Structure 1
Amino acid sequence: MAFALAAADLLVEVGQDGGIVSITGAVKALIGTREEALVDRPIESLFVESEGALIRRLRAKALEKGRIEPAVMHVVCPQGDAIAATLGLCTLPGHANTYLALSVLSPGMAAKLPKRDDVTGLIAMSEFQHMAQKGISPNDPGSGAAMLQEMRLVKIGGLNKKLKSLGESRANELMAEIGAILNASATDTSAARLGEENFGLIGLAYGSAQADMSVAEGVRLAESLAEAMMTAGLSAHAARPQVTSVSLARDGLQEKEIARALSYIFDNLSKTDFVAPHSLKSAFEAAEREVIGQLANLRDIIDHDRFDLHFQPVIELKSGQIAHHEALVRFGKPGSPLETIRFAENVGLIADLDMAVCRKAIALLADQPHLSLAVNISGFSIQYPEFCAELNERLHAQAVLAERLIFEVTETHQIENMDLAAQFLSGLRRRGFKVCLDDFGAGAAAYNYLRRLDVDYVKIDGPFLQRAATDRRERALLRSLSVLCAELGCQIIGEQIETPEIKSLALDLGLTFGQGYLFGKPTAEVPRSKALAANGRRVGQIAAWR
């Protein structure tokens, strides 16, 4: 008890009826009243209203098991604000009361907590995936150490219709209870609402002795959900929640890939309604086998350089002179390589793939002194300190390539750590390497990137330029972007220029460079200084980039 008090900001004893028996610690500072004024008040009154059902469930769990893993709750402050705090709950042998230890989280740690729905307290789908990808424990936001390996899927068939039959107030009460049940069963995991009827929990790895316990807990979880629905007035026939536990096999997966593979599988499964637990389990196992196979194949591609570079010219529009070539990765199979690249991003291998492409491009430039290349690097990769450090080391040894190597930052993955990305790209530019912001106009974050990142070029997404040919609004946006880029000291490259008319439009809108089938398709042949381009100029000639 003394140890718990020393480590906590508040220590609360709660009676069997749920009333506060005693409370000690920073009561005045946190709650804004004297200790004796809180005695006999319900324990729920210390927390935000939406967490009332959850605290009741957690107390019941502590009475059953003796203690619970720490959970994050929100304490109501005198000003009406809520402060995030970790809650520990336990009982003492021979005592029927429960004891709560509350420790306030620092503002920095609280800011890292996932956003939760106001009614249910459940995490949204996007936050759920983010946590799985990052491997972050929801109740220890600074640790980053949780290895997520087990997933429990919950289906409440027809829930949306049932909620509508209850009316808004009773429906919210039921959803709050469902959220409390899921969160109470997930104090060491993440619980989320993944759709109108689908819910999910991702937890820590279970040992073999705990696996049976996990199955039993799944049964109890389904029973608790059914009981809550019947209490809300729904029939026993209607209340049939389904709970299925699935585990991701470690075989063939590196530790850093487990959480991302799990998130990738889960994302695909959550897009399809599932009917019965056994069919869902089969679907998961089939998806798991496919993903592990894809991972093994992709790692083999990266480790053994089983990919090729194809080259497409980028033209200075006014003179028709070739400025440089973009190096495009190809995997030796029909179809677009974009599917493989997106898979690499989803499972956390894109930084390794980008590094392999950079290594091959750097070696080619060292062997071809008349060649100039632009290589693509994902927005995900430049947030990896290991990737940034290795690329910086390689470029330090090849400083002479600065005038012939451009890095195009793609927007297929949103940049979250903007400070690290900006620092890395600024370092490249200080050493003379040029940076291009790729796919501008393809995503909502483009203008934010342009605001935060110093770049030399902006490459307009092809469909954006195509639409400008017939849409006055799109033309106005592109013309204003041209003015903005001129003010920022960067130049614009237009993609997918396939006709003389689109080329003329690009010139009229102020674009400096162009790329597309009008000037040349991607080819596996390495451009050489003596090879002639389609416009009669020599491939490999270098125009001024600024």
Structure 2
Amino acid sequence: MADKSDIFVAYAFSVGDVFIEIDESQKISRIEGALDWIGIDKAQSAIGRPITDFVSADDAIILQSGLSLLGGMLRLGPVRVGFGATVDTRRRIGLFLSRLSSNATRTHIVAMSLNRLDGPDAESNAPLADMESFLRRLPDILEEGEKNANSDILVSMLQMNKHMQGRDKQGFERQLAALSLGGKNATELGDGRFALVHEATNEGDAQRLMDTLASTTGQRFESATLDAETLGDGSDAAKALVYSIRKFSEESPDFSLQDLSENYTEKMEDTRKRIQTLRSLLKERQFDIAYQPIISLSTQKMHHVEALVRFDKRGSSPYELITFAEEVGMIGDFDQIMFESVVAKLRHLVSRGAPASIAVNLSARSLTTAAFVERLEADLKQNKELAGRLLIEVTESAQISDLDALGEAINKIRALGFAVCLDDFGAGLSGFQYLRHLKVDIVKIDGSYVRDAENDPESRAFLHAMSTLCRDLKIRTVGEWVETPAQFELLQSIGVDMGQGYLFGRPKLTLPQDMRGALENVD
């Protein structure tokens, strides 16, 4: 019968490229596999040498920190390092570290090419994931972790005691990523704030990891470790955890590290109750739809109405609830139900011969989610007769993190004959960048420019520039927050196509009776 070492070798070659065994002094005792690939002519030339001889000084620190953590955890990786017999033969690879037991003196290492490990992302030099990608995949990571009875999946959040830059910051980020689950589940949440997902087999593992990170990088920080499993299994616990991380990233005073450390269970339970309330509202469709007219400034006739959700009969703004839905990852559920409600209303109106045209808001976050876009595309195909009457309005209440994915979604919508409007243009720093990447039919100019343009020459200049740019790009424009005749005349004079605001009508729970101008084509 083969000994366990031979079993490790066989397993290593089924998933990796090189198998390495090191003794308690971290010297190589066995090495097999594609040795030429890492510049080693014969296995014997590597045996007896410290494994750190084959990596750079910076990577040696990362590798040492991983090996030191194996005292508690039995496996770690991939630790991404440059590995080879010489500087010229070093390749970027992922090292999977493991021991058979906590008392084992030998460490087994499987080395894998980053091309095999990361696929298309192999050439990326960024050690940290972007925050939105990190938070989007976190629930799936936690769900998968529930199936592993040998360890828990935890999330630790860090706040640096001083500002880092240059090599110090680069080294810290590489070390943070190396100690995270899978070597790529860490992110920067904001200036001096970080988060990482990691495994733990006992209560001391999380603190041991933090101590290792501090000692190997020389950086000082405060930290808090959160465990979604303390609230039980299920997606709501994961959503509550995502929400806490977002609030920490925003430096919310109610979600400081101290608050999270001392009141974590209470905060998570409160968040989970809010999630359940929102889910109930959506499931039972306990909301109304208000409609606000958008007017053609040249004809002064109604062009279309915008459908706006209202969660109470007073018609108050739902901004806080929608923002919460975005932050806990439920905006896709909300958008789907709102879309279905508007489509049903529009189909009913069209069947009665009403000249109705309605814009429905969809979050950019939903439109960068593959499953949501796939379902939306199918729904639009089933409602082709509404093309020219149903307008998709992309909201920017959440920062757009994946312009390529959003651009693809918009192209699919427009290819089916439905017009797309970009909301709140100019509200953020990236507005003009969005316009370069996204092919849309209509742009809504943020109302703050309209509000200030009467008395502020700078706002008026920006308003004029945005109108001119969109006209040159053959994109129609809507000016928001139009409340006075003077604002109406100003928008007309600079060539803005449409207007929306209290001057033309407040949002109402009933459709305007006169929708004769609503069939104007969006072209």
TM-score of the two chains, using structure 1 as the length reference: 0.76
Q: Which amino acid aligns with 2:317?
A: S
- The alignment status of 1:324 with 2:332, answered yes or no, reads no
- The alignment status of 1:109 with 2:94, answered yes or no, reads no
- The alignment status of 1:11 with 2:19, answered yes or no, reads yes
- The alignment status of 1:543 with 2:523, answered yes or no, reads no
| Separation (CA, whole Å) in 1 of partners of 2:202 and 2:52 | 29
CA contact (8 A) 1:324 1:374 kept: yes
1:106 to 1:527, Cα distance in 2 relative to 1, 3 A: same
| Separation (CA, whole Å) in 1 of partners of 2:184 and 2:375 | 34
SS of the residue 1:361 aligns to: helix
CA contact (8 A) 1:261 1:346 kept: no
| Separation (CA, whole Å) in 2 of partners of 1:34 and 1:74 | 21
SS of the residue 1:106 aligns to: helix
Deviations 1:330-362 (A, max 9, x none): 111675311111111122221221121122212
- The alignment status of 1:98 with 2:112, answered yes or no, reads no
- 1:291 equivalent among 271, 275, 284: 271
Displacement, 1:490? 2.1
CA contact (8 A) 1:10 1:27 kept: yes
- 1:306 equivalent among 286, 303, 306: 286
User: In the alignment, which residue of structure 1 is the partner of 2:491?
Assistant: 506
User: In the alignment, which residue of structure 2 is the partner of 1:83?
Assistant: 92
| Separation (CA, whole Å) in 1 of partners of 2:82 and 2:224 | 31
User: In the alignment, which residue of structure 1 is the partner of 2:3?
Assistant: none
CA contact (8 A) 2:302 2:517 kept: yes
Displacement, 1:496? 1.0
User: In the alignment, which residue of structure 2 is the partner of 1:516?
Assistant: 501
| Separation (CA, whole Å) in 2 of partners of 1:189 and 1:83 | 14
- The alignment status of 1:460 with 2:445, answered yes or no, reads yes
CA contact (8 A) 1:147 1:258 kept: no
CA contact (8 A) 1:388 1:424 kept: yes
- The alignment status of 1:427 with 2:407, answered yes or no, reads no
For 1:109-148, list aligned pairs within 5 A.
109=118, 112=121, 123=128, 127=131, 130-135=133-138
CA contact (8 A) 2:135 2:242 kept: yes
CA contact (8 A) 2:445 2:478 kept: yes
User: In the alignment, which residue of structure 2 is the partner of 1:160?
Assistant: 161
Q: Which amino acid aligns with 2:410?
A: L
| Separation (CA, whole Å) in 2 of partners of 1:291 and 1:86 | 38
User: In the alignment, which residue of structure 2 is the partner of 1:259?
Assistant: 238
- 1:70 equivalent among 77, 83, 93: 77
1:93 to 1:245, Cα distance in 2 relative to 1, 3 A: closer
User: In the alignment, which residue of structure 1 is the partner of 2:358?
Assistant: 373
1:285 to 1:73, Cα distance in 2 relative to 1, 3 A: same
SS of the residue 1:314 aligns to: strand
SS of the residue 2:75 aligns to: coil
| Separation (CA, whole Å) in 1 of partners of 2:464 and 2:294 | 21
| Separation (CA, whole Å) in 2 of partners of 1:137 and 1:69 | 19
| Separation (CA, whole Å) in 1 of partners of 2:185 and 2:246 | 15
Displacement, 1:145? 5.1
Point out the more displaced range, 297-306 or 89-98.
Answer: 89-98
| Separation (CA, whole Å) in 2 of partners of 1:263 and 1:484 | 39
| Separation (CA, whole Å) in 2 of partners of 1:178 and 1:454 | 36
- 1:341 equivalent among 317, 322, 325: 322
1:279 to 1:321, Cα distance in 2 relative to 1, 3 A: closer
Q: Which amino acid aligns with 2:365?
A: F
Q: Which amino acid aligns with 1:400?
A: E
* Number of aligned residue pairs: 503
For 1:171-210, list aligned pairs within 5 A.
184=179, 190=185, 200-203=195-198
Displacement, 1:172? 5.2
1:318 to 1:131, Cα distance in 2 relative to 1, 3 A: same
SS of the residue 1:135 aligns to: helix
CA contact (8 A) 2:237 2:272 kept: no
SS of the residue 1:312 aligns to: strand
Displacement, 1:185? 7.7
Deviations 1:125-154 (A, max 9, x none): x53x6323323889xxxx995569854546
1:71 to 1:473, Cα distance in 2 relative to 1, 3 A: same
Deviations 1:250-308 (A, max 9, x none): 66x853x5434311112324636899999644422222122111111111111111111
Displacement, 1:41? 5.3
SS of the residue 1:217 aligns to: helix
| Separation (CA, whole Å) in 2 of partners of 1:514 and 1:185 | 50
SS of the residue 1:403 aligns to: coil
Quote the sequence identity (%). Answer: 26
Point out the more displaced range, 192-201 or 459-468.
Answer: 192-201
- 2:59 equivalent among 41, 46, 51: 51
Instruction: Show structure 2 runs of 5+ residues with no match.
Output: 1-5
CA contact (8 A) 1:318 1:512 kept: yes
User: In the alignment, which residue of structure 2 is the partner of 1:247?
Assistant: 228
| Separation (CA, whole Å) in 1 of partners of 2:118 and 2:22 | 28
Q: Which amino acid aligns with 1:160?
A: N
Displacement, 1:54? 2.7
SS of the residue 1:356 aligns to: helix
- 1:350 equivalent among 306, 309, 331: 331
Q: Which amino acid aligns with 1:303?
A: K
| Separation (CA, whole Å) in 2 of partners of 1:505 and 1:193 | 44
Instruction: Show structure 1 runs of 5+ residues with no match.
Output: 205-209, 530-537
Q: Which amino acid aligns with 1:309?
A: I
CA contact (8 A) 2:96 2:109 kept: yes
SS of the residue 1:382 aligns to: helix
User: In the alignment, which residue of structure 2 is the partner of 1:391?
Assistant: 376
- 2:345 equivalent among 352, 364, 368: 364
CA contact (8 A) 2:155 2:227 kept: yes
User: In the alignment, which residue of structure 2 is the partner of 1:533?
Assistant: none
Q: Which amino acid aligns with 1:521?
A: R
